[in-house]
Amino acid sequence: MSSQTIMITDHDRRRLGTIFDRAYAEGMAPWERLHRLEMELDHAVGIDGGDVPADVVTMNSIVRIVDLESGEDETYTLVYPDHADITEDKISVLAPIGQAILGRREGETVAVAVPSGERWFKIEAVQFQPERSGQRHL
């Protein structure tokens, strides 16, 4: 993962706290991954939704990323687990890619753990961010 501190809106932090409680209880994702994201959020810079920079990936943002090894680019909407649907390019914040991009900025490079090791992705663009469009509570 990138060593830079991430930014998270206060609203997203509250909602994710509830998600973590449910995820631990229901075993929605491997415990280690949940714990790592929770620890990262504990050290994240909290920010009001109205003050979040337009290039930061928040929940429900549409983000274009590029695989640095293959050059392939993908566009995903970062969503809460109950809205995830890969056929609609909606990726859960609890998925490895979702976890890696939350709170990061355009231009940042992030590592994503995969069974064969790590893959590196660059966040090319935040194409839509709810806070930027005035939809702070998506």
Res 106: pLDDT? 97
pLDDT at 2: 46
Question: Is domain 7-128 given the CATH code 3.10.50.30 in the classification?
Answer: yes
> How many percent of the chain have pLDDT more than 90?
62
5-52 pLDDT, tens per residue?
A: 899 999 999 999 888 888 778 876 677 778 888 888 889 999 999 899
> What value does the mean pLDDT take over residues 104-120?
93
Q: What residues does each domain of the chain span?
A: 7-128
3-state secondary structure the chain: CCCCCCEEEHHHHHHHHHHHHHHHHHCCCCHHHHHHHHHHHHCCEEECHHHCCCCECCCCCEEEEEECCCCCEEEEEEECHHHCEHHHCEEECCCHHHHHHCCCECCCEEEEEECCEEEEEEEEEEEECCCCCCCCCC
